[in-house]
Amino acid sequence: MYLGKRIIFNKSTGTVLNDCLEERFDSGLTDEMVDNLRPKEIDYIDLEYGSKILKNAIIYHVDVETKEIIIDKYIEHIETEEEKLKNELLKTQAEVVDLKYKEVLHNKNLNEKEGK
């Protein structure tokens, strides 16, 4: 049996509590921050094994009304050199197809004029 990830969150605010680091009061945490990270009531969502919903998520929280995961920030994708070259190739191929299409239309129009 495979188990998916369990998202544990603050039941009143939706703040995800998974992976909360240990902090000390002298590190700048306020009482409000501590109450948010160590709430009196918690809830959870169990994701299916292999779920990809959080694959590119950096920051997320839970909508406490619907118990849906809300992605606040995704991993920024940086285009690789290979992707840049592939995109340039696709653009060039599209331009070639467009030119060929225009050439075919032009030839068709010439043939129609000659046939009249």
Q: What is the DSSP string of 50-94?
A: T--TTTTEEEEEEETTTTEEEEEEEPPP---HHHHHHHHHHHHHH
Domain ranges in the chain are 6-74, 78-116
Q: Is 2 helix (H, G, I), strand (E, B) or coil?
A: coil
| pLDDT band of 100, cuts 50, 70, 90 | very high
Query: pTM here?
Result: 0.58
pLDDT over 90 for what percent of the chain?
60
Residue 73's DSSP bridge partners are 59
Q: Which amino acid is at 17?
A: L
